[in-house]
Amino acid sequence: WKDKPLCIIMSDGRMILGTLEGHDQVQNLILKDTQERVYSEDSQDVEIIDLGLYVVRGDNVCIIGEYDGSSWDGQSNVAPLPPLQQQQQY
């Protein structure tokens, strides 16, 4: 997966896009050319925040997938993901 474009959904619902530069044994990820895409219920536009070189802690990762950046315009109206919470066991 090194040097491949990845889409990462974080446990707080954020969407991070970047190219995998490296990782370690506990799934901490180093991404380069990283962007965060922010979707809003109030607006049709997608806010793109450039993050540059970015480290993602492994325990914050929910979903990782490879994506084709050339086919993703990122302008579709999508509702933001709610934060994910771990279910408490009683």
Q: What is the mean pLDDT of residues 42-67?
A: 88
Q: What is the mean pLDDT of residues 51-66?
A: 92
CA distance 29 to 21: 8
pLDDT score of 52 more than 70: yes
CA distance 19 to 7: 9
pLDDT of res. 2: 86
What pLDDT band is residue 86 in, cutting at 50, 70 and 90? low
The structure's pTM equals: 0.72
pLDDT score of 50 more than 90: yes
pLDDT score of 30 more than 80: yes
